[in-house]
Amino acid sequence: MGYSAMPGWRISFDYSFINQNQLRHGTGAVPATQASAINDAGGSQEVEKQTINRYYNLGLTYSPNSSWSFSTIVPIVDRSHTTYGNATSDQLTPDNVSGVTASGLGDVKLIGTYQGFLPTRNLGVQLGVKLPTGAYGGQNVVTGATVGRPVFFSSGPNAAAGQALDASLQPGTGSTDLILGAYYYQPVSQNFDAFINGQFQAAVMQRLHDVNADYRPGNLLTVSTGLRYVINPKVVPQLQFNFTHKSTDQGALADTISTGGSVLYLSPGVTVAVGEHVHMYAFLQRAIYSNLQGYQLFPRWTGNLGVSYAF
């Protein structure tokens, strides 16, 4: 959508769809039997089947002047997850699939932005915090006692065993995270604008910190760059490259083997002005490179639709 230096309020709503239905290891896709072969040999490896994520984000931004803005982002998470658990190759059958749906409030973000360094207001920095507002937690790996307020499996062998959903798949992480960011944009010709932005997020406090029941999400770095074609201000196509790197989760409740990695996405999109103060936008994101640790479910593509109203 570009960046704004206009004072006032802006409210936005967007929807993201992420269907993680491809099991990957390193830089390539692999069959489920490759992961289950680790269990055949006496190891311990979860064989996940599918995770469908739907995110509904409500954003509210207030800019008292052209240099400052303050934003609140409230996410609603709707996530369905299925897994074979630590199945061997002969157990990859429908009766061994466990399922769960985790829905509700996610972790709210509060972000302040300052872009008063240059008269053109095209260089900005961000400082924010992610709050532990979503459901989070799991079970003590020794005693089995519930910690936090987690979502539990609702079907299959995991439900019969009273097992909680993985800590990394809960609607929230139970952590308070620090968010640091910066961005810069600049016209590069009469018809094109270029931009680059980056954001780093790291947990600084964890509610899950007890022995045998601790969890800390991995640090997350995102960097995006792209071009916007601005010959027609009512319809602005753009093409982005998005890079993300996540370190592995840590703690007794974490999957320290099959989390973390780096991904490069190609993301075409468009912003359309449907009124003087209303913009709609849509993006399609496709990974062109990934290097994932362990065995992880990964989306073939993701989609995002949104609308914003400035007043």
SS3 readout for 100-167: EEEEEECCCEEEEEECCCCCCCCEEEEEEEECCCCCCEEECCCCCCEEECCCECCEHHHHHCCCECCH
Report the Cα 258 to chain-centroid distance in Å.
Answer: 16
Which residue type sits at 180?
A: L
What are the residue ranges in the chain where pLDDT is below 50? none
CA distance 42 to 91: 14
Could you read off the pLDDT of 108-161 as tens digits, one per residue? 999 999 999 999 999 999 999 999 999 999 999 999 999 999 999 999 999 999
Q: What is the pTM of this model?
A: 0.94
8-310 carries CATH number 1.20.1090.10: no
pLDDT given at position 4: 75
pLDDT given at position 9: 96
pLDDT given at position 76: 98
pLDDT given at position 5: 76
pLDDT given at position 258: 95
pLDDT given at position 6: 85
pLDDT given at position 2: 54
CA distance 300 to 294: 18
CA nearest to 264, candidates 293, 296, 282, 287:
287
